[in-house]
Structure 1
Amino acid sequence: MIQLAQVNLDHVLTELTVIFAQYEAALMDNDLETLDHLFWTSTLTVRFGVAENLYGIDAIRAFRQARNVGSLKRVLSHTQIITYGEDFATTTTEFTRSDQMLGRQSQTWVRFNEGWRVVSAHISLNQHGAVAAIHCD
């Protein structure tokens, strides 16, 4: 059982904050090797995207390789990284893409022998935010 004192241990939070930044940089550069490295190599890994439900690392890899990249650039806001003990964490963030589309991302991270890996991810677009942003311009 996780005790409150084990939430956001400084050294674990610092470590995962660095890894999350590596993930974001890899995403912006479409660095498929690093993105692959940061996801758990398992049939149990899940990634729910804007228009796709991907089950297993093979489906995630195939999606990344086939997608029309366009501009992946985005600005993050309201990012929260929460660690629970030494080996489990969640990250959540909101983002604004270069086309002014607003979105959300959540990830579940687990530390395995080979290091921190995303075991579950969910990305969605905020349609209401996009409409509001368009009307504000």
Structure 2
Amino acid sequence: MDKYSEGCHFIRHYSTCSLNVRILTLVQGLVVLSAWGYLFCQSKFPPSILVAVASFGVLLTTFLFRLNAGYLSAADEFAKAVVILEGAEGGPATHYEKARESLYKNKWALFFTLNATFIFIGFTFFVCLVISVLMEMHT
């Protein structure tokens, strides 16, 4: 297998890993938020349990966000290497990188695309954590 094919393979691999982590984040968020909601609706559980569940959700989402950032960083490095291998005439990776750079040139584009899952789930857990702490303070 030549260097170009190898580089393209790694780009596909890390892009797939990034997508899988975002899907996993959404699923774990819905599961843990459902558990928090169930505990919230039941009056027999102390608010400290709600704090623990919401904290776990925040920590797990943060871990998955950092894992995804590592995958994206690796994919970027392999994409840069493949662009160099394509040379001055360019190729598919060169055009892809140009389109990607124009799409993600500002922080808002990253906010609403690549990081949207983590921000949505993380913010929801943060709100749950605040509600849980307030409930704990009032008991």
Do both share a fold (TM > 0.5)?
A: no
TM-score range, shorter chain: under 0.3
- Which structure would you say has the larger Rg? 2
In the superposition, the TM-score normalised over structure 2's length comes to 0.25
The structure where strand makes up a greater share of residues is 1
TM superposition score normalised by structure 1: 0.25
Higher relative contact order (CA 8 A, sep 6+): 2
- Greater helix content: 2
